[in-house]
A and B are shown apart, each in its own frame.
Chain A
């Protein structure tokens, strides 16, 4: 094991993680999520996050269908979708996604179709952005493990 390489990778991982919190992509709930991962469930975070992104794709698709026709918007369906998205983004610690959902819900409550469409576009952008970021993070994790190192505990404060 090349300890220097491992140390560099660990440093990179740590810095990247911290930056995700600082830039508001992640919040404390992501830290809570990491607590649930252990030797018995080593891929828990990756699995949950993957489930979340699948949910995002599906919910966004369903909502875009509901919002498609200006004269026939199913706001009830949209509200249900936003509710679910807000819940799961909150559980995962996907801060930006969650914040868009809050604005999205407000547009839905007043039946503002234009506003909803804007929020839909934004939530789509945010979840895809987060997906890329987390993929980079997981890749760093894999590199550390492959180099024979351990994933550092990152203290976000």
Chain B
């Protein structure tokens, strides 16, 4: 409402239940996000522009028809889905060079601590217990801000580079360059996330202490 399209966050929501898709869509819209909903993990990957190799399903390649115009700032997915689970989707996103920087949030109606820690270990930013509330979504902003700022910094860093080198190496250099600028912001965000309490999250202690610090280090050194 009254926001420019460029500054709005775009979230990709994945859930096999029509009902849940409608809910999460409204929740996100109410939180001023642009939303795209899909009903499966494979459709989510398709939307991102990742193609599953027919011969080896473990190999993901970037489709030549990659959706460059659609910048996704966050993926929020249900855990329990037929075929590709939310966990499988998380893994595929984190294994992809092009998209592993996109924050992923998992939702589940079941409070299974082992499941939660597995997802967080695999790189999920948050784990929401359903039903998801409006208040839960305020936790997403810091994660989405990070990717937007990073992308903007990378853009200007890349413009400074005169040659076009291999993506992986170049981006790592770019990240190291922006580190000092980034560090301050990240520690602020870290404090915000650590201090905010989520009564409904079973592994609160785990994520606020052990997970958070190593996690942030990972993000700053890899793409």
Contact = CB atoms under 8 A, between A and B. Distances in A.
A87 B27 CA distance: 16
Interface in A44-86: 44, 47-48, 51-52, 55, 83-84, 86
B19 A48 contact: yes
B20 A51 contact: no
B133 A32 contact: yes
Given A32-B134, A35-B134, A36-B30, A87 B17 contact: yes
B131 A29 contact: yes
Given A32-B131, A32-B134, A91 B30 contact: no
A36 B30 CA distance: 7
A91 B109 CA distance: 10
A10 interface: no
A87 B109 contact: yes
B66 interface: no
Nearest to B134: A35
B107 to A, nearest CB: 10
Interface string B146-169: 000000000000000000000000
Contacts of B26: 36, 41, 44, 48
Interface string B8-51: 00000000011110110011011000000000000000000000
Interface string B120-137: 000000000011011000
A91 B1 contact: no
Contacts of A35: 30, 134
A155 interface: no
Contacts of B109: 83, 86-87, 90
B19 A51 contact: yes
Contact of A88 (B17, B30, B80): B17
B23 A48 contact: yes
Interface string A83-114: 11011101100000000000000000000000
Contacts of B134: 32, 35-36
A100 B27 CA distance: 27
Interface of B: 1, 17-20, 22-23, 26-27, 29-30, 80, 109, 130-131, 133-134
Across the A-B interface, give the 7 residue pairs with the lowest CB-CB distance, nearest first.
Answer: A91-B131, A87-B109, A36-B26, A88-B19, A32-B133, A36-B30, A51-B19
13 contacts: A32-B131, A35-B134, A36-B26, A36-B27, A36-B30, A48-B22, A48-B23, A51-B19, A51-B22, A87-B109, A88-B20, A90-B131, A91-B20
